[in-house]
Amino acid sequence: MTKPQAGRTALDPEMFDPVCPSPLVPFRVGDKWAALILRCLQDGPRRFSELKVPLRGVTAKSLTQSLRRLERDGFVVREEYEGTERRVEYALTPLGLGLLGPLDAACAWTREHWDELIDAQEAGLPGATRRP
């Protein structure tokens, strides 16, 4: 079986559940998955397949794309380890680590105003008071 090396805990498969598609909402970093990935890496390096777990429904292609972009922009580093079993890990750079600060601030604001955000959207969509 695949043993998680050392003491780092595995990612919570539901860390981005329930409904909330992204803990960012109106904020976004890069593409759809980028911010989620950064948060997954905050406790240390993670393997490709490890990242797929909490990022429910992400395809390998999308995940690779996001990781490549994060790598290109200097927020993440990719490290390939050699051995009998293949092993690639992604980790935050200092820059990526620093990004977590304002990112958390944005997430906090979103959580604080979650109800207002939902209410405002529901008021904005329906058929009641519409411009023709």
Partner DNA sequence: CGGAATCCGAGTCGATACTG
Partner DNA sequence: CAGTATCGACTCGGATTCCG
Q: Binding to its own copies by residue 73, rule CB under 8 A?
A: yes
Query: Should residue 28 be labelled a site residue for its own copies when binding is judged by CB under 8 A?
Result: yes
For residue 121, state whether it binds its own copies (rule: CB under 8 A): yes
The per-residue DSSP string of 32-57 comes to TTHHHHHHHTTTS-EEHHHHHTTSTT
Query: What is the phi/psi pair of residue 121, to 5°?
Result: -65, -45
Considering CB distances under 5 to 8 angstroms, the limit depending on partner class, which of DNA, its own copies, none binds residue 22?
A: none
Q: In terms of Cα–Cα distance, which of 45, 54, 50, 42 is closest to 13?
A: 54
Site for its own copies in 78-97 (CB under 8 A): 93, 95
Q: Is the omega angle on the peptide bond into residue 18 within 30 degrees of 0, that is, cis?
A: yes
C-beta neighbour count of 7 within 10 angstroms: 6
Minimum separation from the CB atom of position 92 to its own copies (A): 12
Beta bridge partners of 88: 80
Q: Does 105 bind its own copies (CB under 8 A)?
A: yes
Residue 113 CB, shortest distance to its own copies, in Å, is 6
User: Judged by CB, which is closer to its own copies: 80, or 85?
Assistant: 80
- Nearer Cβ to its own copies (30/53): 30
Q: Which does 16 bind (CB under 5 to 8 A by kind): its own copies, DNA, none?
A: none
Rule CB under 8 A: say whether 48 interacts with its own copies: no
Tokens 């598609």 locate to 21
